[in-house]
Amino acid sequence: MIPRKKLFAALVGLCAASPVLAQECGNDFEAWRQGMAEEARQAGVGGKGLSALANASVDAEVLKRDRAQGVFSQTFVEFSGRMINDYRLKNGAANLKKYADVFARADKEYGVQGPVIAAFWALETDFGAVQGNFNSLNALVTLASDCRRPEIFRPQLVPLLTLIDQGVLPADVKGAWAGELGQTQLLPSDYLARGVDGDGDGVVDLRNSVPDVIMTTASKLQSRGWKRDEPWIQEVRVPDEMPWEQTGRTNKLPLSQWASWGVVNRDGSPLADNGLKAGLVLPMGRKGPAFLTYDNYDVYLQWNQSATYTLTAAHLASRLAGDPAFDRRNPEEGLGLEGMKVLQRKLVEKGYEVGNIDGILGVNTREAVRQEQKRLGFAVDGWPTPALLANI
């Protein structure tokens, strides 16, 4: 383990390091590793960290996982129904009570509400029970040297080597397949930059110390722009007709505007203007669940870019804060995995940038769907249906 002051000093050293020296990716793994070692050496990584890098290897299972993230092709109702279960609700409530003083301190120091932290803790590792069995260094070496997404994983290598070099983590530390560590699955750069000694023992241990986990998670969320005492999502009901093209997370409007179009609270009562702006998110179209999303919800997307995951995490936090399960309503029939791939191919042929043809309704695909709905005179709610596919 390393004292917090040393963690900060190591981070400062990283910031002053020389420009990238290693090739970004390529087939010559040994040449890539040598360049990476030189980059780490110039960033201040010593013998222990460099030795760990010298012994690291490519993990074929990591590459397999990276290419097969089909879980995010599930709808919001499917995914949230599986992830928000009785175990997580029960243990989330119990942990909020058990560590109430630590959650209160996190709220006071960082402005992040306890249920928000507890929800990530639940979804990421079931409160520390399942932290991953992949060799974290091998995982990051694999993904950083692979040419699919090196720009995402490469910046995590020197921080991890620093943590190993300083004795914070062992060289064979285990975590998730994408290199995340600890009970809320932080990447090494956040471990290094945002680590907080929550229990006052002089070390930051995100694998075993719950106070460290809670305080560090709050520190990370604050660093991404979390606003003190503000909401993140609010379930609402929408009318049968309204200007659907105004919906979407990024089109934030005063609650008075949404109210004027007929949006009401879940129980049917009028929206109370809280002085904030919010977007209206319809994860399964205008006939499915509906949520107002505030600026704090945008922070969720910095944790994980999957809209399905982030909305699930946000709703679980609301459940732990006392809200009921969302109303599923009656969404229109959507597209299955193969249907989504066909739709994405058609959208690409029309000139849209949708990313990979993977059957996942990501941000780019949803925006392309909205544009096509507008062109065709459909309700612009971002939900792809067989009728839309047949008309494109």
Q: Is the pLDDT of residue 290 over 80?
A: yes
Q: Is the pLDDT of residue 227 over 70?
A: yes
For position 25, what pLDDT does the model report? 73
> Which tens digits make up the pLDDT trace of 32-64?
999 999 999 999 999 999 999 999 999 999 999
Q: Is the pLDDT of residue 19 over 70?
A: no
For position 338, what pLDDT does the model report? 94
For position 15, what pLDDT does the model report? 39
282 pLDDT band, cuts 50/70/90, is very high
Q: Which residue has the higher pLDDT, 16 or 322?
A: 322
Assigned superfamily of 4-67+130-216: Bacterial muramidase (1.10.8.350)
> Which tens digits make up the pLDDT trace of 242-257?
999 999 999 999 999 9
Q: Is the pLDDT of residue 30 over 50?
A: yes
Please give the mean pLDDT across all residues of the chain: 92
Q: Is the pLDDT of residue 71 over 80?
A: no
Q: Is the pLDDT of residue 216 over 70?
A: yes
70 pLDDT band, cuts 50/70/90, is low
69 pLDDT band, cuts 50/70/90, is low
For position 16, what pLDDT does the model report? 38
186 pLDDT band, cuts 50/70/90, is very high
Q: Where in the chain is the domain with CATH 1.10.8.350?
A: 4-67+130-216
pLDDT, mean of residues 216-235: 97
For position 6, what pLDDT does the model report? 39
Q: Is the pLDDT of residue 306 over 50?
A: yes
Among 19-23, 148-152, 332-336, the minimum mean pLDDT is found in: 19-23
Tell me, what amino acid is at 338?
E
27 pLDDT band, cuts 50/70/90, is confident
